[in-house]
Amino acid sequence: MKILSIESSCDETAAAVVEDGRTVLSDIVASQVEEHKLYGGVVPEIASRRHCESISQVVKEALQEADCEIDDIDAIAVTATPGLIGALLVGVNFAKGLAYSAGKPLIPVHHLRSHIAANYICHKDLQPPFMALVVSGGHTSFVKVNSYTDFEIIGSTRDDAAGEALDKAARAMGLPYPGGLYMDREAVDGNPKAFSFPNPKVDDAPFDCSFSGLKTSVVNLLHNAQQKNENICIKDLSASYLHAVVHTLTQRAQLAIDTYHFDKIVLAGGVSANSVLRKQMTTLCEKNGISLYYPEISLCGDNAAMVGAQGYYEYIDGHLSDLHLNAKATSSIDNIDAILPCL
């Protein structure tokens, strides 16, 4: 089964053709990173306009690279939630129009579900159940993946996502956008014990995270140093801060292993590309004798191949939509019915 998939939840306009949820026939991404770098972060209005300008060509290139015509496609999948509402609407409306004109089934896909599904492309033997640690600029969640379409959140962030905490701290350090990437590079030669940061916990919610205090602490540290005319080693600060963020995640991952006895853990989302997180999670899983999976670097960020992978399993379970489908800026990963119109 060949699925044409479309992704436009943030600042990447992407389209792909994926066969049977595991084989990528094409994967085209039009990135806006260089433009948003001028502003130190994604500007929603600009992102939406660039999606409008790029989406037709990106879909055309995805079909060409897969050596397909639209008649060869069995269904069309699109990211419908969560994300920047203006950006999502571009992809959703394009997919609706294409599905209607071509007479193809329309599959709405949850963005975080598709990040998890990126692992199905890279690891052909991977099957649920497992625990997924979804870490990105907008989301941080510990998710029980009971089946390909059955998800249960066991913990999440109460405020900033881990990726947001990294990006904003990096911006305060004077690092370029995207900050998490450059902080990771700086941390390679830094001392992770040079600075001490708090280890935030949430009362009565041991699997939940809070990163706003960590972000504030690094900003205060930098401001105090500036007022005293002191120099801060950015490499050491990056390594220490990154260590604190990752420690928060690995602590809860260990607790989840002890509580639910997972034998597989999957990393997903943009921050799953972070070298410190990968290293610490590898050590954790080896210590516990369990398997760790994470996507190739090219599939960690937003892309349409992962949408096609998850779209396949949503299709198998009958999660289809009619033309009343609408985009939603926020939606829980465990409730696909929230984005499905009544058929």
DSSP conformation letters of 221-262: HHHHHHHTT----HHHHHHHHHHHHHHHHHHHHHHHHHHH--
Q: What is the CATH number of the domain that holds 60?
A: 3.30.420.40
Which domain covers residue 132, as residue numbers?
Answer: 124-299
244 and 269 both lie in a single domain? yes
d(CA 105, CA 76): 6
Q: Report cis status (omega within 30 of 0) of the bond before 192.
A: no
Provide the residue-wise pLDDT of the chain in tens; the chain has 343 residues: 999 999 999 999 999 999 999 999 999 999 999 999 888 889 999 999 999 999 999 999 999 999 999 999 999 999 999 999 999 999 999 999 999 999 999 999 999 999 999 999 999 999 999 999 999 989 999 999 999 999 999 999 999 999 999 999 999 999 999 999 999 999 999 999 999 998 888 888 999 999 999 999 999 999 999 999 999 999 999 999 999 999 999 999 999 999 999 999 999 999 999 999 999 999 999 999 999 999 999 999 999 999 999 999 999 999 999 999 999 999 999 987 777 764 4
The confidence score (pLDDT) of residue 341 equals 65
291 and 308 both lie in a single domain? no
213 and 236 both lie in a single domain? yes
d(CA 32, CA 143): 30
Alpha-helix residue ranges (DSSP H) falling in the chain? 33-37, 44-65, 85-102, 111-122, 162-172, 179-187, 212-227, 234-260, 275-288, 305-316
Residue 306 C-beta-side C-alpha neighbours within 13 Å: 30
212 and 255 both lie in a single domain? yes
d(CA 72, CA 239): 49
Residue showing tokens 């119109």? 341
13 and 63 both lie in a single domain? yes
70 and 152 both lie in a single domain? no
d(CA 161, CA 139): 5
> Helix, strand or coil for residue 43?
coil
Nearest Cα neighbor of 148 from 132, 129, 131, 124 is: 129
164 and 260 both lie in a single domain? yes
50 and 156 both lie in a single domain? no
8 and 156 both lie in a single domain? no
Over the stretch 25-77, which tens digit does the pLDDT of each residue have?
A: 999 999 999 999 888 889 999 999 999 999 999 999 999 999 999 999 999 99
Dihedral sign for Cα atoms in the order 81, 140, 299, 182 = positive
d(CA 42, CA 47): 7
Rounded to the nearest 5 degrees, what angle is found at the Cα of 31, between the Cα atoms of 90 and 3?
60
- Give me the number of domains the chain comprises: 2
94 and 33 both lie in a single domain? yes
d(CA 240, CA 253): 20
106 and 228 both lie in a single domain? no
265 and 199 both lie in a single domain? yes
